Amino acid sequence: MVFSKTNIGKHFFGKKAISIPALKNMTVKNASAQMARTLSTLVGSGIPLVEAVEISANVMGNVYFKEALQYGFIEFDRPLRHKSEGVVLM
């Protein structure tokens, strides 16, 4: 299945997995468990939370969950970056 390895294929199958009622619940629970396990392992190993979220996003199986984590990481990291430069946006 070469199609499933392409960006379009990943989005197609990712969308199908969260739009079919029988698969949606299992897909969401699987993604949540995968993210929780990865974050727990990384943070427990001493990796900073910001880096752990970024790494966790890269190991997500469903491209929509991966993109959601990456978007959340960008939105979370932006105020921290400005704060470290002396500019507080909050």
Q: pLDDT digits over 30-71, tens only?
A: 989 999 999 999 999 999 988 898 899 888 888 888 888 888
Give residue 79's pLDDT.
Answer: 58
Looking at residue 89, what is its pLDDT?
Answer: 42
Residue 24 included in any domain: yes
Residue 40, pLDDT score: 95
Quote the domain boundaries for residue 11.
3-84
Residue 88: which pLDDT band, with cuts at 50, 70 and 90? Answer: very low
Residue 65 lies in a domain: yes
Q: Which has the closest alpha carbon to 35: 80, 72, 79, 10?
A: 72
Within-domain flag for 89: no
- Does any domain span residue 73? yes
Asked whether residue 57 is domain-assigned, the answer is: yes
Any domain includes 76: yes
Number of structural domains the chain divides into = 1
Distance in angstroms (rounded) separating the CA atoms of residues 1 and 79: 41
Quick check: is 90 in a domain?
A: no
Largest Cα–Cα distance of the chain, in whole Å?
A: 50
